[in-house]
């Protein structure tokens, strides 16, 4: 297994600088390409599943987190407040309070429910510098978050829908859960006191897990302070397990923020809030992908998808033209000409790139490309049009296959 910190530096994906601060990595262009592609995949999956996206600020007044309960139950993990004009602001430890306030800002009818609100937004955690490292323990987090405001009757179906999105995302990302965990409160933890609500939400999540047929284990002491959750666990290169995805049922924050909708009976009702994340924090997700794939990402995620390799300087114009057509087709391509080494050296150099498009005099003559696939396969020269179409189709469908043999036949 690979260490994402070492590989991240070798591949030029991300880095840190003491002047910026520990736990505050920055993303280099190749890392940013992966992150952008991952975020767009998530947004697309959410749009198709009926979510609507919002933006909200990364800080808010201290009162916001007093109402949500974060201040009482979570302030150890929060940055200290900033004083400004007699008010106190804090960097947010989660997106939920902002989304609850956005929901509350408009009147809602039962016809709008389930209302699915999503955001890929920043949040902050005051980790001590001793535990910080790479992308897995950071102080600034980009969270793939969403909140579903719904009726009690809709909770099970919405939670099932979220689990299905997680399943599909893992398939596209080429990763697998190590286990599903029903995370319950435990002794000594800081939890909001509302035994009846804990029981109801635990019963709902248990029903969803039992109905899903997925094997799971219950674990005490792993719940959020406001409610139980389903956690999807993965294991990193060093054998450590962590939570990547989560689905949570929350009766607490709707109560605290006084959320309501008008029911079919014309009366006011309290919605339930489901918190769900498909890939958790973008940082952790990318760290896991780096370790899992050793830098050989699925083609749709790869920072460079096509390495265009002209055999001699004579084919450089053809290589440039092919790379431009790749870019127009939405693919990330890069020409590596003879100036950067022999063909063999350039092929080795591009070993993590899913497609190496070799263009020699023979191919240049009739606009063909000789493809070498990352897995070592070498294809007969194909018309460049066909190559673009086939790679494009695999990338668009987020396939983890580097070549579709059936389509190629
Ligand atoms: Zn939340």
Cβ-based neighbours of 381, under 8 Å, separated by 6 or more: 362, 363, 368, 369, 370
Rg of the chain (C-alpha set): 24
The predicted pLDDT at position 407 comes to 63
Domain of residue 341, residue span: 306-408
- Cα of 353 vs centre of ligand 1, distance in Å, is 37
- What percent of the chain has a predicted confidence (pLDDT) above 90? 85
What is the count of structural domains for the chain?
Answer: 2
pLDDT band at 174 (very low <50, low <70, confident <90, very high): very high
Predicted TM-score (pTM) of the model is 0.94
CA of 93 to the centre of ligand 1 (A): 10
Rounded distance from Cα 228 to ligand 1 centre (Å): 12
**Spacing, Cα 92 to ligand 1 middle (Å):** 12
CA 360/CA 370 separation, integer angstroms: 8
Q: Do both 219 and 320 map to the same domain?
A: no
Do 185 and 258 fall into the same domain?
Answer: yes
pLDDT grade, residue 137 (50/70/90)? Answer: confident
Ligand 1 center from residue 255 Cα (angstroms): 14
DSSP string, 245-271: EEEEEESHHHHHTT--EE-TTSSEEPP
Determine the distance separating the centroid of ligand 1 and the alpha carbon of 257, expressed in angstroms.
13
Pairing of strands 52-53, 14-15: unpaired
* Closest CA relative to residue 23, chosen from 110, 136, 139, 123: 139
What tens digit of pLDDT does each residue of 224-239 get?
Answer: 888 899 999 999 878 8
pLDDT at 227: 86
CATH of residue 360's domain is 3.40.50.800
In degrees rounded to 5, what are phi and psi of residue 275?
Answer: -95, 130
Residues 264, 311 within the same domain: no
Q: How far is the CA of 233 from the centre of ligand 1 (A)?
A: 18
Domain check: are 156 and 282 in the same one? Answer: yes
Å from CA of 214 to ligand 1 middle:
24
- On whether both 109 and 197 belong to a single domain, the answer is yes
Q: What is residue 101's predicted lDDT score, i.e. its pLDDT?
A: 98
Dist. CA 69 → ligand 1 center (Å): 12
CA 247 to ligand 1 centroid distance, Å: 9
Question: With 70 as the cut, is the pLDDT of residue 55 above it?
Answer: yes
In a domain, 328, yes or no: yes
Distances (CA, A) of 212 to 93, 207, 216, 350: 31, 8, 10, 42
Q: Cα(147) to centroid of ligand 1, in Å?
A: 6
Given 232, 260, 293, the domain boundary residue is 293
Same domain, 250 and 321: no
Question: Is 238 a member of any domain?
Answer: yes
Residue 236 has a pLDDT of 83
Confidence of residue 24 (pLDDT cuts 50, 70, 90): very high
CA 348 / ligand 1 centre spacing (Å): 45
Going from the Cα of 276 to the center of ligand 1, the distance in angstroms, rounded, reads: 7
Please check whether residues 18 and 162 belong to one and the same domain.
yes
pLDDT at 190: 72
User: Sign of the C-alpha dihedral, residues 393, 399, 403, 407?
Assistant: negative
Residue 334 and residue 307 in contact, taking contact as beta carbons nearer than 8 Å: yes
pLDDT of 192: 74
**pLDDT greater than 70 at residue 199:** yes
Output the DSSP codes for 94-105: -SHHHHHHHHHT
300, part of any domain: no
Please check whether residue 121 lies inside any domain of the structure: yes
pLDDT category at 53 given cuts 50, 70, 90 is very high
Q: Based on the domain organization, do 124 and 75 belong to the same domain?
A: yes
Q: Do 60 and 97 meet the contact criterion of CB atoms below 8 Å apart?
A: yes
Q: How far is the CA of 43 from the centre of ligand 1 (A)?
A: 17
* Mean pLDDT score of the chain: 94
Q: Taking Cα atoms as reference points, which of 11, 146, 121 lies closest to residue 59?
A: 121
Considering the domain boundaries, does residue 59 fall inside one?
yes
Q: Which band of pLDDT confidence, cut at 50, 70 and 90, is reported for residue 133? A: confident
Are 286 and 313 within one domain? no
Q: Percent of the chain having pLDDT more than 70?
A: 98
* CA 250/CA 228 separation, integer angstroms: 8
Question: How many angstroms separate the alpha carbon of residue 316 from the centre of ligand 1?
Answer: 52
- 303-358, pLDDT tens digit by residue? 999 999 999 999 999 999 999 999 999 999 999 999 999 999 999 999 999 999 99
Residue 6 CA, ligand 1 centroid: distance in Å: 32
User: Angle 161-49-257 (CA atoms, 0-180°, nearest 5)?
Assistant: 75
* DSSP per-residue letters across 308-366: EEESSGGGHHHHHHHHHHHHHTT--EEE--GGG--HHHHHHHTTTSSEEEEE-HHHHHT
* Co-location of 169 and 261 in the same domain: yes
* Mean local confidence (pLDDT), 59-80: 92
In this prediction, residues 276-282 reach a mean pLDDT of 96
- The answer to whether residue 404 scores a pLDDT higher than 90 is no
Ligand 1 geometric centre to CA of 159 (Å): 14
Least confident window among 213-222, 318-327, 398-407: 398-407
- 288 with 318, same domain: the answer is no
Please tell me the distance between residue 201's alpha carbon and the centre of ligand 1 in angstroms.
15
Tell me the CA–centroid distance for residue 278 and ligand 1, in Å.
12
64 CA distance to ligand 1 middle (Å): 14
Question: Cβ atoms within 10 A of the Cβ of 401, count?
Answer: 11
| Cβ-count burial 378-399 (b if 16+ within 10 Å, e if not) | eeebbebeebbebbeebbeebb
Q: Report yes or no on 286 lying in a domain.
A: yes
- Ligand 1 mean position, distance from CA 67 (Å): 14
301 within domain boundaries: no
**Residue 25 DSSP label:** -
pLDDT tens sequence across 189-198: 777 777 788 8
297 pLDDT above the threshold of 70: yes
Contact yes or no for 32/15 (Cβ under 8 A) = no
Token couple for 309: 């390799």
Residues 382 and 347 both lie in one domain:
yes
DSSP conformation class of 221: T
Of 249, 265, 293, at which residue does a domain stop?
293
The last residue of one of the domains, among 293, 316, 333, is 293
Whether 299 is in a domain gets the answer no
* Model pLDDT for residues 74-126, shown as the tens digit of each residue: 888 999 999 999 999 999 999 999 999 999 999 999 999 999 999 999 999 99
- pLDDT, position 405: 72
Q: 197 C-alpha vs ligand 1 centroid, how far in Å?
A: 17
Q: Where are the alpha helices (DSSP H) in 174-315?
A: 195-212, 252-256, 282-293
Q: What CATH number did the domain enclosing 71 receive?
A: 3.30.930.10
């Amino acid at each position: 297994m690979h260490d994402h910190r070492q590989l991240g530096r070798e591949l030029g994906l991300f880095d840190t600088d003491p002047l910026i601060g520990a736990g505050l990595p920055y993303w280099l262009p190749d890392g940013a390409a992966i992150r952008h592609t991952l975020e767009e995949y998530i947004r697309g999956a959410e749009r198709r599943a009926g979510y609507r996206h919002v933006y909200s600020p990364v800080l808010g007044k201290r009162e916001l987190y007093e109402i949500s309960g974060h201040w009482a139950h979570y302030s150890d993990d929060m940055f200290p407040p900033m004083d400004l004009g007699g008010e106190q602001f804090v960097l947010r430890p989660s997106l939920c309070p902002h989304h609850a306030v956005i929901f509350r800002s408009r009147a809602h009818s039962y016809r709008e429910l389930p209302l699915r609100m999503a955001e890929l937004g920043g949040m902050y955690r005051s980790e001590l510098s001793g535990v910080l490292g790479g992308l897995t323990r950071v102080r600034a987090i980009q969270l793939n978050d969403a909140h579903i405001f719904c009726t009690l009757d809709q909770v099970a179906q919405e939670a099932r829908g979220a689990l299905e999105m997680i399943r599909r995302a893992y398939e596209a990302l080429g990763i697998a859960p190590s286990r599903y965990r029903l995370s319950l409160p435990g002794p000594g933890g800081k939890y909001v006191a509302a035994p009846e609500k804990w029981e109801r939400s635990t019963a709902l999540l248990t029903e969803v897990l039992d109905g899903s047929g997925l094997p799971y284990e219950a674990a005490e002491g792993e719940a959020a302070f406001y409610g139980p959750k389903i956690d999807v666990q993965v294991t990193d290169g060093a054998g450590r397990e962590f939570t990547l995805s989560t689905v949570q049922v929350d009766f607490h924050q709707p109560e605290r923020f006084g959320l309501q909708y008008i029911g079919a009976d014309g009366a006011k009702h309290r919605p339930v809030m489901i918190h769900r994340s498909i890939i958790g924090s973008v940082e952790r997700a990318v760290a896991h992908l780096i370790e899992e794939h050793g830098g050989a990402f699925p083609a749709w995620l790869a920072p460079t998808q096509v390495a265009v390799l002209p055999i001699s300087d004579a084919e450089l114009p053809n290589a440039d033209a092919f790379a431009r057509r790749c870019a127009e087709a939405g693919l990330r391509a890069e020409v590596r000409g003879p100036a950067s080494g022999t063909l063999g050296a350039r092929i080795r150099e591009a070993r993590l790139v899913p497609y190496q498009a070799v263009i020699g005099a023979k191919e240049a003559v009739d606009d063909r490309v000789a493809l070498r696939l990352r897995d070592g396969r070498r294809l007969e020269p194909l018309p460049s049009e066909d190559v673009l179409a086939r790679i494009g189709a695999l990338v668009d469908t987020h396939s983890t296959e580097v070549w579709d043999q059936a389509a190629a036949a």
